[in-house]
Amino acid sequence: MPYVVLTLMAALDTVFYQWVIPETKGKPLPENLPQKDPVKAKLARIDSLVKV
């Protein structure tokens, strides 16, 4: 029975992966990364200081 469950989960995962993840073959990579949001960057710095 466990093999049936794992096989079903693997099959569903494969179908979900093929449906959700976009195809990128042949598409160029972006030249630059998106700019950081200054508010999120500041919050990340504050959060890292608080954890230390």
**Concatenated DSSP letters of 1-52:** -HHHHHHHHHHHHHHHHHHHSPP-TTPPPPSSPPPPPHHHHHHHHHHHHHH-
pLDDT at residue 52 is higher than 60: no
Q: Sketch the domain layout of the chain as residue ranges.
A: 2-51
How many Cα neighbours within 13 Å face the side chain of 9?
6
CB atoms within 10 A of CB 46: 10
In tens, the pLDDT along 8-42 reads: 999 999 999 988 888 888 888 888 887 778 887 77
Type of residue at 42: K
